[in-house]
Structure formats: structure tokens, C-alpha cells
Structure 1
Amino acid sequence: MVYLEYDFKIDPPQPATDILIAELGELGFESFVENETGLLAYILKSEWKGGMLSELFVSQNPNFKISWTSKEIEQQNWNAEWEKNFHPIKVGDRCMVRAPFHDPAKVEYDIVIEPKMSFGTGHHETTHRMLEHILVNDFEGKSVLDMGCGTGVLAILAKKRGATDVDAIDIDEWCYLNTQENVERNNCPEIKTYQGDSNLLKDKKYDVILANINRNILLEDIPIYADCLAKEGTLFLSGFYLEDLDAISSKCAAHGLEFEKNLEKNNWIAAKYVN
């Protein structure tokens, strides 16, 4: 597969970078790497449509100066790029997310992730906050779904926190394969990985569902998640902004899911709902 790499120069970097990532995610861009000048964003060449970037809201804001260039890259050229930019992160005092070339961490949950083109290293606010939710909630003996799993980092931590049955699903083949690699790398062979979307959830039941995707997909799939939640189940949602919380919570409430709490960082939200 051939990817297009878009190199965005952004001034000032925040909050423009976070807004841009959200907009690009809705357009089909799969992966992002923040750097000193802005952002690298990646989309399959086959998914690219001319003029996709012409109506970016963030680029029309007079408070931000954004320009970009693009080039084709082969999928296998990604390794050197992420290795240059991937630094270990610590989540509280109990969890570290690091690459295979970093030294082992002296923490309760030492997670080794080789992200390649997949979203979910823990660096982005949404992933970081979802990891925090997992650390402080009970997963012992629970069945868990990681929807839009990316690298599989959420599924892996859920398993390490005592979950018994864990499914990890992503529509993108690269993410599906990357999750399989990371599951093996972290000695979690019980995690089952699938390529597909919410259509795979028919007749499934889970105690916990983790979905770190984006606002539009979440709003579309919340009814499906609600149907898949076991009695007294828990739904964790992320990938959207604070201003989207009311719309997400209203959709959840319409399907019997009550908002309990949210974690916020830089206007990004990770919310918890229960039935």
C-alpha cells in the first residue's frame, strides 16, 4: 500500500494542531506525528480525494497560519520516522508505554508498543486519558471490547488489569496487523483481534467497551455499543472535544447510558458511562 504524507507547518502550534488532527481524522487520515514545525499526517493514497483539504476549518481561522506539502511514501518507510519521534510516556505512577528500543520501566504495567502507522501510543490526550480510566477502574474478570484499537494499547492494559475476554477491532488492516504484533509483544495471546467495524458486534456482549475514535463515528455507533453492553456495563468514549460532550452524552442517555465522569486534557475528553 502507498501512503500520502502531508507535512503541515503550523503557527502557533496550539490549539491549531489538535483541531487539525480532529478534522483530518474525519477526512480519513489514519496517523499523526507532531514535530517541531507542526504535524505529519498520513492517508492511504487510494482514500485521497482531490480538494479534501480546501474546506479545513482550522486553515481558514485568521489566528492560525497553516501551510502544507505532500509526498508519496511506501508503507515500510514508516519505521524510521516513528522511531525518531516516539518517546516513552508515563501514565501516573503505575504505567509506562514505550517502544522496544527503550529500556524496561520499573512500573506495575510496562507496555511495549511498536506503533508504525497506527494511532495509539499514549502520547495523544485521548489515549492517555483512556489509559488513566483503565488504571482506576475494575477490569478483573471482565469481558472487554477495544473498538478502533489502533495499536491495541488499551486492550493490552485492560488485559494486564485482569480482564478475561478481550476483543480488539479496527477497520484498518495496518492497525489490525499492528495490534496482533503488539499483543504478542506484550505476552497477551488471549486478546482476539479482528478487522472490521461495528457490524462485527452483532450478538456480542461485553462488560466494558472502550472506544477512542472520533465524534461522528461515536454518535453513529453508540446505539450499537449500548446493545452490546452487559447489565451494569461500562462504556468509555474518547476522541472528541469538550464542546462535543453534550451531544455524546445526549446520545448515550437516549440509549439508557448515564454519564458518570470525564477526564479532560487540552479540551480533549475521555468520558465514562454506565447502564
Structure 2
Amino acid sequence: MDYLEFKIKCLEQFREILIAELSMIGFNSFLETEEGIDAYTLESDFDRTAFDEVMDQYKVDAEITLEEGIMPKVNWNEEWEKNYDPIAVDDLVYVRASFHPSKPEFKHEIVINPKMSFGTGHHATTFQMLRNQGQIDHQGKRVLDVGSGTGILAVMAHLLGASEVEAFDIDDWCVDNGNENFDLNGLTTRMELGTIREVNPKGEFDIVLANINKNVLLDEMNIYGDLLKNDGFLLLSGFYTQDIEDLNECATPLGLELIAQQSKDNWAALILQKKA
């Protein structure tokens, strides 16, 4: 399955804004360049009307110029090696590619070769999910990673002591890449392909991780609740701070109580707990 490629030249201060806007309409891979961003989406997921609306909204202020093309399925390690920088989430975890040196001063280290998959820790949602995972006891727990992307959150769960980790994604690129990243970090589990309804994971789980977009979270919230044990934790991100109320209104009737929230670059992350 081919990806559509959009080379967007823009003012530097609009890079994060455009990444945020495009991720909300189905784009799941981004590469920052000297002149702006390269954005990628599966042909089957592309919404021309929504894309044009985003471009029109920022075209003048961001001084956008655009080139469109098709990117066949190729190995992107060389491109990521040119552009991918390691990140640190507090002193909790250092996320690096295999070509970067290790930093043993961090509590944990994750090696990610992201290729075309979304979720490297650079985006505010992934960063906050990792940070929130550090607040939850994973030792001996059963963990489900919904929409796993590069597999970074599943890897984090493993490093934090989870006894069992299940992960899946709707994108076959992510599944291939995620399984490679699992191998790099010592996970023997395999990422599955499909939606949560297609994969049909069997509960109960102590922790459910879901870093997806708002509409998917709202649609699947009852499934997350059903899969959680009483007193289990649901960690959510992938939506704006102004969407917190909508997510909470959906979760509360399901017995999911909001116990913590944070935001970064206007992206929100929540920790909810299932109450009996």
C-alpha cells in the first residue's frame, strides 16, 4: 500500500501546528526538514477536502508552498538517520535510534528505528504518554497498547516490568516496524494488524494505552472500559486540551474516573482509573 507524500515548505513557527492539524485528519508520519515538513498518509486514509481546508487556513500566515507525490514502500532508515534526533523524557527514558550512542544515566532506554511509523516520542502526545506511564506501576501487570505505531509505548511497558504486553495497529507498515522495534528492545510479543474490534483482545487488562485521535477514542471508549480490571488504568492522548471535557463526559458513565491530566503544546494526556 503506497503513501501519499506532501512536501510542505512553511515558516518554522508553524511546523508543530501543521503536524498537529494534519495528524487530526489521518496523517501518521512526519519528517521535519530545513524548509518545513514532509507529511505522509496512506492513500486509503487521505481526505482531500480536509487537507485543502488545513492548507487554505494557514497558507498565507505560514507562507506555505506544497509539492505532492507518491512514496512507494521503501526502507526509510537512511532518511531517518539524517533527520532523527534522540529525545529525553525527564530522567525516565532516553529514546534513540540504533545509530545513536547509549546514555546509561537514564532509568530506561528505548531504541526506535521509526521508518514511516508514527510515535517516536517527539510528538507531544507520545512524550506525555511515556511520562504518564512512568507514574503507573507496571510491575507484573497485563498491558494493552491500542494503535501502537512504532511500538514505543509497548516497549516502555515492558521496560517498566509488565508481565504481558499486547499491541496492534491498523497499518501494516506500523506492524512491520513495530515488530522490528520489539526485537531491538527484547520483546518477544508480536504486534497484530487490525482495529480493536478486529483483533478482539481478551480482557482483563491492568493498563490500557491509547494514543489515537479524539473520534476513535470516543468510539472505542466503552471497549477500553470493558477490557480493564477494576482499579485498572486507562492512559489517553491524541487530542487537544479543549477536547478533555468531551473525553471525560464519555468516560465517566463507564466508571472511568479522571485522576490526572496534563498538556504540552496544546495536546492533552489523561490518566483515568476504572472504579467498581
1:251 Cα deviation (Å)? 0.8
Question: Structure 2 unaligned runs (5+)?
Answer: none
1:65 Cα deviation (Å)? 3.3
**What TM-score do you get using the length of structure 2 for normalisation?**
0.91
Render the CA deviation track for 1:151-205: whole Å, top value 9, x for unaligned: 101101111101011001101001011111111111121x342111110235422
2:121 aligns to what? 122
Question: Structure 1 unaligned runs (5+)?
Answer: none
For residue 192 of structure 2, give the secondary structure of its aligned residue in structure 1: strand
1:274 Cα deviation (Å)? 0.6
CA distance in 2, matches of 1:221, 1:61: 34
CA distance in 2, matches of 1:217, 1:187: 30
CA 1:167 to 1:142, structure 2 compared with 1: closer, same or farther past 3 Å? same
CA distance in 1, matches of 2:252, 2:56: 31
Q: Which amino acid aligns with 2:265?
A: N
1:43 aligns to what? 41
CA 1:274 to 1:30, structure 2 compared with 1: closer, same or farther past 3 Å? same
CA distance in 2, matches of 1:48, 1:171: 15
CA 1:244 to 1:62, structure 2 compared with 1: closer, same or farther past 3 Å? farther
1:186-201 matches, within 5 Å, as 186-189=185-188, 191-199=189-197, 200-201=199-200
CA distance in 2, matches of 1:222, 1:57: 31
1:1-275 matches, within 5 Å, as 1-11=1-11, 13-14=13-14, 17-48=15-46, 50-56=48-54, 59=57, 63-76=61-74, 78-106=76-104, 107-189=106-188, 191-199=189-197, 200-201=199-200, 203-275=202-274
Which stretch of structure 1 is more off in the superposition, 105-114 or 27-36?
27-36
CA distance in 1, matches of 2:45, 2:271: 33
CA distance in 2, matches of 1:185, 1:58: 41
For residue 54 of structure 1, give the secondary structure of its aligned residue in structure 2: helix
1:5 Cα deviation (Å)? 1.2
Q: CA RMSD in A?
A: 2.0
Contact 1:22 1:214 survives alignment (8 Å): no
Percent identity among equivalent residues? 42
CA distance in 1, matches of 2:77, 2:263: 31
Contact 2:87 2:95 survives alignment (8 Å): yes
CA 1:234 to 1:6, structure 2 compared with 1: closer, same or farther past 3 Å? same
Aligned structure 1 segments of 4 or more residues deviating by more than 6 angstroms: none
CA distance in 2, matches of 1:77, 1:247: 39
Contact 1:116 1:178 survives alignment (8 Å): yes
Contact 1:142 1:165 survives alignment (8 Å): yes
1:68 Cα deviation (Å)? 1.5
CA distance in 2, matches of 1:95, 1:203: 29
Q: Which amino acid aligns with 1:263?
A: Q
Contact 2:143 2:208 survives alignment (8 Å): yes
Contact 2:75 2:115 survives alignment (8 Å): no
Contact 1:144 1:158 survives alignment (8 Å): yes
Render the CA deviation track for 1:117-139: whole Å, top value 9, x for unaligned: 10111111111111111122210
Contact 2:239 2:268 survives alignment (8 Å): yes
For residue 13 of structure 1, give the secondary structure of its aligned residue in structure 2: helix
Contact 2:92 2:131 survives alignment (8 Å): no
For residue 122 of structure 1, give the secondary structure of its aligned residue in structure 2: coil
Equivalences, count: 272
**What TM-score do you get using the length of structure 1 for normalisation?**
0.92
Which stretch of structure 1 is more off in the superposition, 200-209 or 260-269?
200-209
CA distance in 1, matches of 2:134, 2:225: 23
